[in-house]
Structure 1
Amino acid sequence: MGNASLVLFAAAAALLSCLWVGPAVVQAEDPYLFFEWHVTYGTISPLGVPQQGILINGQFPGPKINCTSNNNIVVNVFNEIDEPFLLTWYGIQQRKNSWQDGTPGTMCPIMPGTNYTYQFQVKDQIGSYYYFPTTNLQRASGGFGGLQILSRDLIPVPFDPPADDYNVLVGDWYTKGHKSLKKLLDSGRSLGRPDGIQINGKSGKVGGNDEPLYTMEAGKTYRYRVCNVGLKTSLNFRIQGHSLKLVEMEGSHTVQNIYDSLDLHVGQCFSVLVTADQAPQDYYMVVSSRFSKKPLTAVGIIRYANGNGPASPQLPPPPPETAGGSIAWSINQFRSFRWNLTASAARPNPQGSYHYGQINITRTIQLVNTRARVDGKLRYAVNGVSYVDPATATPLKLAEYFGVPDKVFTYDIMKDVPDSSNSNVIVAPNVINGTFRNFVEIIFENPEKTIQTWQLDGYSFFAVAIETGKWSPEKRKNYNLVDAVSRHNIQVYPGSWAAIMTTLDNAGMWNLRSEMSENAYLGQQLYISVLSPARSLRDEYNIPDNTQLCGIVKDLPKPAPYTI
């Protein structure tokens, strides 16, 4: 974007920053950040093999959004590829605004040759996030980028300002591209093993002539924001010769423990501080696969300014990979993560006195994931229901808002507790009713031999426990009810369960899904409808004026708007 455009946008922001609220009274809004993005195809080579990728403004990964808590983000997205396109803002708790969530259950897609402007506020949030496309498995070809939210100047951060702030987007990668991978899934087959691992769109090799990813000056400390944007593979992150001080995880400041390496499961993000306290030379950043039969490793160079000498070919070893031992190691690391209750930050209660462990649970939802064959094709299910988008091509949220949900989906076809005596799988849109402001417990139980991760849009939740075996009510005695990290993604190991707690206080239609892209595409997801009985602007925004309409609601008159 040129300087002239920035000036015009700044002028527009200045006009938007004032609201007329009465005679001679002006109230300032939070700042606006404006972006114009063009989505195109282009040639990329993450694993050294040229292939078609999805670029944003010609970039892979896409442009980074750097903003501050409470900023208003406006992104005008031009779809210049040959498929419908949507972006979701992963981990951003869009308060009262599932209209902009960017999932097929909430929005009509941006059709080829058209554009759509997202507008949302990063209200009361800080931390490390990213965005990615949600349609047609396009995430496998790119279209993702980093999004970081800084604390406002008046809010102290529990560590000194770093010398620089680096985004690291890592993930497994396939050389086939999203269209070929989608055909595999549509034919009833699995994606199979990935071909490699990419780090910021590249995959370096030990002893190669790669340019450095980042440069550090001796004696200074740097912040690395690392996100796993892959399709299915858990990863381990480490930096040769350097310790990692964990300071933030998915929007929450953490107790600042020191680690040699950190497991990073699909969809998860964390921030670590790294001090340049070694001899001035090159060092390898190492990202390797976890819990996979065929180990994969990628490296990237971190260079000391004025350093001399290449990185040592002796890479730091990965965590244990023995049967059972790898899971035990990773679970113990999860249990070491603690919420920093003394840090000031944008969160449910700034004093850290939000005693979630003392709130009565009003509903327990136990979700068991399974795989099955339906009409000879592979499907994944939750409690016997395998999700599929409505045949009417109508987003669930729009059908509900326009008062025609019965023509698109049926509420509560899935039970809160699975019926172990019934192995049948229903293929249908899966929407459960969530009572506004109820405090719920959700149990994820994984009887499969592969790891899972789960994401809940629109919310942060307290990740209170992960254990092997099956869940039962008496397991609650093992929950962390004091300082579990408030986050939006949790892993579930093979033959294990995980428990989370949250208050359903964000009205809207919110996606709860497996972050394993194959599983979600083939049915392992659902939506939670959280309606405010008051139908008030205090609880949910009105439908945006620029909302695209499709399916059976395309020509229907809009309902009366909510009022204060």
Structure 2
Amino acid sequence: MGCLNNLLFLSLISCFVVVQSGDPYLFYTWNVNYATLSPLGVPQKVIVINNQFPGPKINSTTNNNIVINVFNNLDEPLLFTWNGVQQRRNSWQEGTLGTNCPIPPGANFTYQFQVKDQIGTYYYYPTTSLHRAAGGYGLLAVNSRALIPVPFDHPEDDYTVLVGDWYTKSHVTLKKLLDTGRSLGRPNGVIINGKRGKMDGTDEPMFSMIPGKTYRYRICNVGVKNSLNVRIQGHTMKLVELEGSHTVQNVYDSLDVHLGQCYSVLVTADQTPKDYYFVASTRFTKSDLVSTATIRYVGGAGPAEATLPPAPVGWVWSFSQFRSLRWNLTASAARPNPQGSYHYGKINITRTIKLVSSKGKVGGKLRYAVNGVSHIDPETPLKLAEYYGVPEKAFKYGIMKDEPEGGDVKSNINIAPNVINGTFRDFVEIIFENHDKSMETWHLSGYAFFAVAVEPGRWTPEKRKNYNLVDAVSRNTIQVYPNSWAAIMTTIDNAGMWNLRTMQLERQYLGQQLYISTRPPGRTSLRDEYDLPLNAPLCGVVKDLPKPPPYTL
């Protein structure tokens, strides 16, 4: 906090890299510890923040500056990422091992970032080791400023619903499984806000609703392996926001929420006043894992019905749901102009990257790869090595090609740091092909992209005729079904080192991710990218090197 007292402009830029005159600050202190909890009825070590699981909600407003002082009281290094928050010009705060040295046990680090020109529903989680399987996650909401119209009436209340699959094995045990070449196997259950419902009418209500009132439920899949379907007994859900974008307000009986994805729905208390179940269950698994949370009408009487509403069956329904998602082109976003004023469908594609996932054994151990390259994190974070001008001591650019060579991704897997160069302000098309029998979900940090297509089969250039080039939702995750493909489009205009990763934790840990290095031409300016924060810890080969000259305006 001492650097706040420094009145020099450039020092402020270096200390609080997201300073914006007149924009409010939100300050948090997090103590991260283990606690013995029983999310599935079995005592185990869970990562808690300020003794909370899930962690504290960050309730912010567009352009707020967020300052979080994290004290790591675990016995392992730790990092947090802010899934979906676009760190404009500021990958130093992204919190991945490719951008940051982790916080050592017993130490602290202060994250400082701005939710610039954003609204919507996001969440945070730890990125180190397999910590995400032990908790440490929470909601990050960005509300619209008072002067910006929202395309729905202000709800009576705003509820957080963090749903995900869960293992009763500790994250240490799960890590040992992967390190010795095995798979994680099937999760043990599903939890909602850290709990599994008993489904016998004895659970205390998690949510309450006043008859006749409408409520906003912010739903995120924070799990590690499975897609989930969510639904509410006797009620429909009106979709109003998806990962930072207002949507066409379709009404659904249930929603498939894939790993890493967040939805906001409106639910009206228009049924007989009594209890109802919020239901979450796994999708596309041999047998469903199910959990419930009780919703109680204020003044109501009577338990929830024992019979739960069924989830949809099969893949076709889920494909149809994706195609029904549309951007609300008339709604304002974080700024007064409409969301749809950005006509992405009229921009010429300057680069196509086709990413084909694969898996195989290397040295007898399971690895996952993209275009034949399985990523590992070097001792020196990629971004730091690049900043200090010694990238060759940590990685090589471009060992992965823009598409698999010869179309074969299974013959060889190369284990190495996977970094590609992104030409500043290129308009890029990225194709994800899933040749496996299980789901994939991909997340791109630092950007929102247009999810223009998801289809079965293999992608070819002729498939572009099926793209939605008018009102595809601007978002940060995309699901890829088994033996299917997905296409996204975005402008690479955010300088930094950005992670493109699968959200399946096992696949991610075993190599299915990469980094996109985006640098403006010529000398880096503070107009393009913030400088290395003064409080950034150093590690690896750069630890004892002289610091490069700071960026200037």
- TM-score interval, smaller chain: over 0.9
- Structure 2 distance, partners of 1:42, 1:232, is 23
RMSD after superposition: 1.8
- Structure 2 distance, partners of 1:399, 1:336, is 43
Shift of 1:141: 0.6
**In structure 2, what residue type is equivalent to 1:408?**
A
Shift of 1:314: 1.3
Q: Secondary structure at the match of 1:352?
A: helix
Shift of 1:350: 3.6
The answer for the alignment partner of 1:360 in structure 2 is 348
Matched, 1:201 2:211: no
Matched, 1:48 2:37: no
The answer for the alignment partner of 1:525 in structure 2 is 513
Shift of 1:421: 4.2
The answer for the alignment partner of 2:178 in structure 1 is 185
The answer for the alignment partner of 1:3 in structure 2 is none
Shift of 1:389: 1.0
Question: For 1:331-370, what aligned pairs fall within 5 Å after superposition?
Answer: 331-346=319-334, 350=338, 352-370=340-358
Q: State TM-score, norm by structure 1.
A: 0.94
Out of 544, 549, 552, the residue aligned to residue 555 of structure 1 is: 544
The answer for the alignment partner of 2:71 in structure 1 is 78
Contact 2:201 2:303 in 1 (8 A): no
**Structure 2 vs 1, CA of residues 114 and 184 (structure 1 numbering), >3 Å: closer, same or farther?**
same
Question: For 1:130-209, what aligned pairs fall within 5 Å after superposition?
Answer: 130-209=123-202
- Structure 2 distance, partners of 1:69, 1:49, is 40
Out of 259, 271, 275, the residue aligned to residue 266 of structure 1 is: 259
Contact 1:16 1:29 in 2 (8 A): no
Shift of 1:48: 1.1
Matched, 1:399 2:385: yes
- Structure 2 distance, partners of 1:349, 1:164, is 27
Question: For 1:475-486, what aligned pairs fall within 5 Å after superposition?
Answer: 475-486=463-474
**Structure 2 vs 1, CA of residues 20 and 476 (structure 1 numbering), >3 Å: closer, same or farther?**
closer
**In structure 2, what residue type is equivalent to 1:512?**
L
Q: Secondary structure at the match of 1:406?
A: helix
- Structure 2 distance, partners of 1:219, 1:267, is 32
Give 4+ residue runs of structure 1 displaced > 3 Å after superposition: 347-351
- Structure 1 distance, partners of 2:335, 2:124, is 21
Unaligned runs of 5+ in 2: 14-19
- Structure 2 distance, partners of 1:241, 1:16, is 59
Q: Secondary structure at the match of 2:340?
A: coil
- Structure 2 distance, partners of 1:85, 1:341, is 40
The answer for the alignment partner of 2:414 in structure 1 is 426
**Structure 2 vs 1, CA of residues 527 and 162 (structure 1 numbering), >3 Å: closer, same or farther?**
same
Question: Which segment is superposed worse, 351-360 or 73-82?
Answer: 351-360
Shift of 1:16: 12
Shift of 1:352: 2.3
The answer for the alignment partner of 1:383 in structure 2 is 371
Shift of 1:412: 0.2
The answer for the alignment partner of 1:373 in structure 2 is 361
- Structure 2 distance, partners of 1:504, 1:435, is 7
The answer for the alignment partner of 2:16 in structure 1 is none
Matched, 1:468 2:450: no
The answer for the alignment partner of 2:17 in structure 1 is none
Q: Secondary structure at the match of 1:331?
A: helix
**Structure 2 vs 1, CA of residues 16 and 126 (structure 1 numbering), >3 Å: closer, same or farther?**
farther
The answer for the alignment partner of 2:528 in structure 1 is 539
The answer for the alignment partner of 2:493 in structure 1 is 505
- Structure 2 distance, partners of 1:396, 1:254, is 36
Q: Deviations over 1:60-100 (max 9, x none)?
A: 00000000000000000000010000000110000000000
Q: Secondary structure at the match of 1:248?
A: strand
Question: Which segment is superposed worse, 147-156 or 416-425?
Answer: 416-425
- Structure 2 distance, partners of 1:538, 1:375, is 46
Contact 2:442 2:500 in 1 (8 A): yes
Q: Secondary structure at the match of 1:96?
A: coil
Contact 1:228 1:264 in 2 (8 A): yes
The answer for the alignment partner of 1:414 in structure 2 is 400
| Identity percentage of aligned residues | 70
Matched, 1:226 2:219: yes
- Structure 2 distance, partners of 1:208, 1:166, is 21
Question: For 1:101-140, what aligned pairs fall within 5 Å after superposition?
Answer: 101-140=94-133
Shift of 1:295: 1.0
Contact 2:119 2:333 in 1 (8 A): yes
Q: Secondary structure at the match of 2:74?
A: coil
**In structure 2, what residue type is equivalent to 1:554?**
K
The answer for the alignment partner of 1:296 in structure 2 is 289
**In structure 2, what residue type is equivalent to 1:376?**
G
Matched, 1:284 2:277: yes
The answer for the alignment partner of 1:323 in structure 2 is none
Contact 1:386 1:524 in 2 (8 A): yes
Shift of 1:116: 0.2
Matched, 1:492 2:480: yes
The answer for the alignment partner of 2:445 in structure 1 is 457
**In structure 1, what residue type is equivalent to 2:447?**
Y
Contact 1:348 1:354 in 2 (8 A): no
**In structure 2, what residue type is equivalent to 1:54?**
I
Unaligned runs of 5+ in 1: 1-7, 22-26, 321-325
Shift of 1:319: 0.3
Q: Deviations over 1:480-525 (max 9, x none)?
A: 0000000000000000000000000000000000000000000000
Contact 1:464 1:500 in 2 (8 A): yes
- Structure 2 distance, partners of 1:467, 1:20, is 48
Q: Deviations over 1:413-453 (max 9, x none)?
A: 00101022461110000000000000000000001000000
Shift of 1:160: 0.3
Shift of 1:294: 2.1
**In structure 1, what residue type is equivalent to 2:539?**
C
- Structure 2 distance, partners of 1:256, 1:340, is 8
Aligned pairs, how many? 541
- Structure 2 distance, partners of 1:550, 1:347, is 39
Contact 2:148 2:335 in 1 (8 A): no
**In structure 2, what residue type is equivalent to 1:548?**
P
Contact 2:382 2:391 in 1 (8 A): yes
**Structure 2 vs 1, CA of residues 523 and 349 (structure 1 numbering), >3 Å: closer, same or farther?**
farther
Contact 1:440 1:504 in 2 (8 A): yes
Matched, 1:99 2:92: yes
Shift of 1:558: 1.1
- Structure 2 distance, partners of 1:205, 1:290, is 20
- Structure 1 distance, partners of 2:485, 2:26, is 41
Contact 1:430 1:527 in 2 (8 A): yes
- Structure 2 distance, partners of 1:421, 1:222, is 50
- Structure 1 distance, partners of 2:425, 2:99, is 21
Q: Secondary structure at the match of 1:286?
A: strand
- Structure 1 distance, partners of 2:236, 2:173, is 40
- Structure 1 distance, partners of 2:269, 2:165, is 28
Q: Secondary structure at the match of 2:438?
A: coil
